[in-house]
Amino acid sequence: MKLFVTGAATTKFGELWNASPRGLARHAVFEALKDAETLPSSVEALFVGNMLSGMLGGQEHLGAFFAEELGLTVPAFKVEGACASGGLALHNAVNSLLSGQYTTVAVLGIEKMTDHKPEDVATALMGAGSEEERSAGATFPGLYAILARVHMREFGTTEEDLAAVAVKNHLHASLNPNAQFHNTLTVEQVMKSSRIADPLKLLDCSPISDGAAAVILSIHKTQRGVELSASAVATDTLGLAQRKDLTQLAATRDASQKAYAIAGVTEADIDVAEVHDCFTIAEVLAMEDLGFFPKGKAAAAIAQGKTTVGNGKHVVVNPSGGLKGCGHPVGATGVKQIVELVDQLRGIAGKRQVSGARVGLAHNVGGSGATAVIHILKK
């Protein structure tokens, strides 16, 4: 059975002080329905990806909460998997269609983070870490700093190499009207920014953000529909201490291999990818774990401006600006990645359009790599 993304939309990402979660959800879902040229009555189920509503907002019953707001009385589900919540919501929606339970469903990814104190947000985000890491006072910048240190020791990766990731993704974000940041960066600016968790600096880190994104997924092909060819998930240990190798995120490697097999493609067929660059080292790891570059080669290639070349294939990574430039409302990110790929494969991405894009990959990660979700779309 083939599945199609028939509608896709996203709000602007950023510090949206005057926007409520209800308003963000309405905008994203109704714009996606409009894009799909379908009515709300066509939606048979709603899947909501969100991480922090219970810890920060005191509301866990998001399926019914947003179904009510959207005027729907259909089955509705909240799906949580840390920063991979949006990707997991889509994965569950895919499985519901493949099972024959529904024919058309809506997927909403949403997060409202900036209304809360940064220290409360940091504590809530560490709900995705292990008990040992929390009790030691670790935060995710600290955990990814460990990964960066190991990569530097093993492969000679430099801080300037990591800074080049931020420079590239801010350049892409400057072309995206929905991105949180439109300012370009230089390597020097990244290097001079405040150190958060050595070697990661402020401009190596994705921001706290608000936003929502939605897609309409259906078994019915439409003229503008984009085929969703594969959806795969893999997991690893919550904590870094339990892993055999800190130079890779094994869940990314495993999920991508599953997705390539399901879609009948290899990494060499991917034209455009949205990868989970919550920190600059995360994109470096993703580029290698997805097979775009041999282990230890991605950082230097990015720094040399060869970010569109991997395994001899022209692949553009994070044209939306990624999490770093576009913003990272954690429950929305995995769905926003799909919206960006749909725009790219339709050829309507404007100034950031990837020429000739026919196959796209989305890579969404939860925690420090405990969950990885891969989706592959085809024109």
Active-site annotation, residues: 83, 328
Q: DSSP 3-state helix, strand, coil percentages of the chain (rounded to 5)?
A: 45, 20, 35
Cα(124)–Cα(51) distance, rounded to whole angstroms? 9
**Which structure tokens are listed for 265?**
């493609």
Distance from chain centroid for Cα 215: 14
What residue type is assigned to position 224 of the chain? R
- CA pseudo-torsion sign 337, 338, 341, 342: negative
- Structure tokens, 107: 């997927």
For residue 335, give every residue at least 6 positions away whose Cβ sits within 8 Å of its Cβ, in sequence order, or none.
10, 49, 86, 87, 89, 90, 107, 108, 109, 213, 214, 215
Between the two ends of the chain, the Cα-to-Cα distance in Å is: 16
DSSP structure string for 123-146: HHHGGGS-HHHHHTT--HHHHHHH
Q: Is 3 helix (H, G, I), strand (E, B) or coil?
A: strand
